């Protein structure tokens, strides 16, 4: 009896470790990466409910290669850093961080969602995940429109 409980606990632990290693890590240091572009989404824009505010996109070295060549190698990471906007005094300035959206390239691991893993971290939290196992419906359904561009909307400029 005791042995079977131990076996069950052992397998539960293995499954937990597996799930943890599959989780997309918080993109530490992304503010030091390549800035790709910024955009302000105002009320009235169709995506305002989900992505209203100002966002900046950042690419790590591998993703930079992807933007330049059109082929994103495994290990590419792109960050969508979404902040509130303040519009006082006829200026648009950054407010509080709303979410850090992440795309991680691993053609095999994320084959079901175009070779990209998707995750979001709420506000300034590095642990509070907003996507989890819902990447296919919450993110990929929209990014699929960019199949010809490896599911990436933005493009690089010098
Ligand atoms: C309704 C459509 C839509 C949905 C849903 C969506 N995105 Fe996007 N995403 C976009 C658009 C459009 C851009 C380009 C924004 C720009 O050009 O500044 C983008 C850009 C991005 C980028 C930068 C790389 C690129 O494709 O340009 C990341 C990272 C990203 N999204 C992550 C996510 C995550 C994570 C989710 C799920 C929580 C998600 N997106 C859901 C439309 C969507």
Instruction: Summarize pLDDT for 66-103 with one digit per residue, the tens.
Output: 999 999 999 999 999 999 999 999 999 999 999 999 99
pTM comes to 0.90
Q: Is residue 155 included in any domain, yes or no?
A: no
Say if 44 falls within a structural domain: yes
Which atom of ligand 1 is nearest the CA belonging to 47?
1
Residue 58 within a domain: yes
pLDDT at position 94 is 98
Domain holding 58: CATH number? 3.50.70.20
Residues with CB under 6 Å of ligand 1 are 37, 39, 47, 57, 78-80, 101-103, 118, 120, 131, 138-139, 142-143, 152-154
* Residue 153 pLDDT level (bands cut at 50, 70, 90): very high
| Ligand 1, atom 19, residue with closest C-alpha | 153
> Is residue 154 in some structural domain?
no
CA torsion 71-134-128-50 (nearest 10°) is 80
pLDDT-based confidence at residue 22 (cuts at 50, 70, 90): confident
- Is 156 contained in some domain? no
Ligand 1 mean position, distance from CA 33 (Å):
18
In the block, tokens 């079901």 appear at 112
Sign of the dihedral through C-alpha 45, 49, 51, 52: positive
Let me know if residue 158 belongs to a domain.
no
Classify residue 157: in a domain, yes or no.
no
Range of the domain at 82: 2-149
Residue 26 in domain: yes
Parallel, antiparallel, or unpaired: how do β-strands 34-41 and 53-59 relate?
antiparallel
Spatial CB neighbours of 2, under 8 Å, sequence gap ≥ 6: none
Q: 2: pLDDT confidence band, cut at 50, 70 and 90?
A: low
Domain count of the fold of the chain:
1
CA dist 57 and 35 (Å) reads 6
């Amino acid at each position: 009896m005791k042995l079977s409980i131990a076996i069950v606990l052992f397998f539960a632990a293995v499954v937990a470790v597996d799930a943890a290693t599959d989780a997309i890590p918080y993109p530490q240091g992304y503010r030091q990466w390549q800035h790709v572009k910024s955009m302000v989404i105002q009320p009235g824009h169709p995506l305002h409910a989900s992505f209203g505010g100002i966002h900046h996109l950042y690419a790590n070295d591998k993703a930079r290669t992807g933007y330049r060549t059109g082929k994103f190698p495994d290990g590419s990471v792109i960050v969508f850093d979404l902040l509130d906007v303040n519009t006082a005094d006829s200026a648009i300035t950054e407010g509080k961080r709303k979410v850090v959206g992440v795309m991680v390239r691993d053609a095999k691991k994320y084959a079901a969602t175009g070779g990209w893993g998707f995750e979001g971290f709420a506000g300034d939290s590095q642990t509070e995940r907003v996507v989890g196992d819902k990447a296919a419906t919450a993110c990929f359904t929209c990014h699929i429109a960019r199949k010809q561009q490896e599911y990436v909307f933005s493009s690089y400029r010098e």
